[in-house]
């Protein structure tokens, strides 16, 4: 149980285009999902908190108009990187919180490697 | 985000040995402390987690020790195996509100055969 999927796993796009990344909780419901980015050999940096049915909460320094988040259902959140530039190249990872868990169990997806050329 | 400090940055252990990774936190409102294991190119996997009402939790070869007064917690990997070679992250969060995880900087563990 507690499986989170991400799609695509890897994407290469040209500068100026937009890329959508999907995050799904496969066997549990998640009112809250989180989006992170991770640079090589570094820790995870929280970008935003995605709440089902309401607006996402962005961390300081994260441009909400560039990183669009939609959480349309209890099992799906999407991150759209708009007008991508090479500096947006990174490993993007989502996590989903099991709302039925006793603690704050958060399960991560396998990540999406974005390369902007 | 409040900081969670993790050490060491890297660790080399012989097969069968004990791997110990330490974390310290500042925010006394944190009350959930998980450890994650991450292999290259993969997402982190939840290993084990502890709440502050207990001082130790064991699951298989993995043990968390928690010292509330010192605001420190550690991960012990007993009988370390080459397959345990990965990066380990500690994290902390409140169990109310947004419940966003604050991560440590990570420890790269290498278990030599």
Query: Residue A92 and residue A77: Cα distance in Å, rounded?
Result: 13
Q: What are the pLDDT digits (tens) for B88-102?
A: 999 999 977 778 999
- Assess contact for B91 and B33: CB atoms under 8 A: yes
Q: Is B34 in Cβ contact with A106 (below 8 Å)? A: yes
Average per-residue pLDDT for chain A: 93
CB contact (8 A) between residue A59 and residue B1: yes
Pull the structure tokens for residue B32. Answer: 């959930």
* pLDDT, position B28: 92
- Which residues of chain A make contact with B42, given a CB cutoff of 8 A? 110-111
Residues of chain B with C-beta less than 8 angstroms from the C-beta of A39: none
CA triple B112-B10-B45, angle to 5 deg: 85
CB A81 within 8 A of CB A18: yes
Q: Are A92 and A82 in contact (CB under 8 A)?
A: no
Q: Over pLDDT 90: what percentage of chain B?
A: 91
pLDDT of residue A1: 65
pLDDT of B58 > 70? The answer is: yes
Q: Tell me, yes or no, if B42 comes closer than 8 A to chain A by beta carbon.
A: yes
Q: Given the DSSP bridges, would you call strands B19-25 and A106-108 parallel, antiparallel or unpaired? A: unpaired
Q: Which residue spans within chain A are E strands per DSSP?
A: 4-7, 10-13, 19-25, 32-38, 44-51, 57-58, 67-73, 76-81, 90-97, 106-108, 112-116
Q: Let me know the angle formed at the C-alpha of B25 by A102 and A55, rounded to the nearest 5 degrees.
A: 55
Q: Which letter does DSSP use for residue A59 in this model?
A: P
Q: Is B33 on the interface with A (CB under 8 A)?
A: no
Sign of the CA dihedral with A11 first, then A111, B93, and B9 last: negative
Q: pLDDT, tens digit, for every residue of B75-84?
A: 999 999 999 9
A103, A107, A109: which to substitute to probe chain B, counting the most B Cβ within 10 Å?
A103
- List the single residue in B1, B51, B108 with the smallest CB-CB distance to A46: B1
């Amino acid at each position: 149980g507690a499986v989170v999927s991400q799609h695509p796993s890897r994407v290469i796009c040209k500068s100026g285009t937009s890329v959508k990344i999907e995050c799904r909780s496969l066997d549990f419901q998640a009112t809250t999902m989180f989006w992170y980015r991770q640079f090589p050999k570094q820790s995870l940096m929280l970008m935003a908190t995605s709440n089902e049915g309401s607006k996402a909460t962005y961390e300081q320094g994260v441009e909400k108009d560039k990183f669009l988040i939609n959480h349309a259902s209890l099992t799906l959140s999407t991150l759209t990187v708009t007008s991508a530039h090479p500096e947006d190249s990174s490993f993007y990872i989502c996590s989903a919180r099991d709302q039925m868990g006793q603690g704050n169990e958060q399960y991560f997806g396998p990540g999406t490697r974005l390369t902007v050329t | 985000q409040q900081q969670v400090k993790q050490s060491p940055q890297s660790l080399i252990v012989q097969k069968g040995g004990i791997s110990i990774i330490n974390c310290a936190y500042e925010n006394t409102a944190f009350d959930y402390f998980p450890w994650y294991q991450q292999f290259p190119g993969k997402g982190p996997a939840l290993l084990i987690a502890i709440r502050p009402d207990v001082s130790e939790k064991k699951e298989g070869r993995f043990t968390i020790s928690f010292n509330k007064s010192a605001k420190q917690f550690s991960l012990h990997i007993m009988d370390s195996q080459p397959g345990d070679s990965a990066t380990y992250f500690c994290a902390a969060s409140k169990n109310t509100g947004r419940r966003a995880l604050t991560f440590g900087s990570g420890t790269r563990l290498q278990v030599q055969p």
